[in-house]
Amino acid sequence: MNNFLKINKKLLLVLLILIILIFFSRVFFKNLILTKIEQDPVLIDPTFDVINPSFTINNNKEKIFVKANMGNFINNDLILLEKNVYFESQKFKIFSDKVTFNRKDQTAISKSASTFKSKGTEINSEGFSIIQKGDIIMFNGKTSLILTQ
């Protein structure tokens, strides 16, 4: 008689189910951990000082809201904002990836690719400067202007 046929079928079924459960639980928890890392930037890159920094530039005409995904303090006044940096007012939006923001003077400088959007206007440049508390915006480097109706 064959020894293989003497194996307890119930025990074999329980072992097979147990192995399948262990496999799926590992896949599920590994996916859960990856999702948490994608949502929490501290787990991805702990080399920055501020998570989701937010500031406001107040001038006589309007408020300009400044937001980013992360920031590093250069000194007491200067903050390097990185990843999805944007400036937003009622009249315009500016998007960039790396901006140095001066909290004291309420100015900003960027040397990375930037996009300015306003009603009927889009400006793409290699950088920009916001001076006089947002009253003046200068675009640096190669710049293209797109006017739409």
pLDDT for 4: 60
pTM above 0.75, yes or no: no
CA pair distance 126, 113, nearest whole angstrom: 4
Does 32 share its domain with 69? no
Short-list 128, 78, 125, CA closest to 106: 78
CB 88 within 8 A of CB 95: no
Q: Residue 71 in contact with residue 53, Cβ under 8 Å?
A: yes
The mean per-residue pLDDT over the stretch 96-105 comes to 88
Parent domain of 110: 50-147
pLDDT band, residue 102 (cuts 50/70/90):
confident
List the one residue out of 65, 103, 66 whose CA is nearest residue 85.
Answer: 66
Amino acid residing at 98: K
Q: Are residues 57 and 16 in the same domain?
A: no
Say if residue 61 is in the same domain as residue 11.
no
Mean pLDDT across the stretch 32-58? 66
> Whole-number mean pLDDT of the chain?
82
pLDDT of residue 20: 93
Q: What's the mean pLDDT in 123-149? A: 86
Domain count, the chain: 2
Same domain for 122 and 100: yes
Residue 57: its pLDDT value, please?
A: 83
Helices (H), the chain: 9-39, 41-44
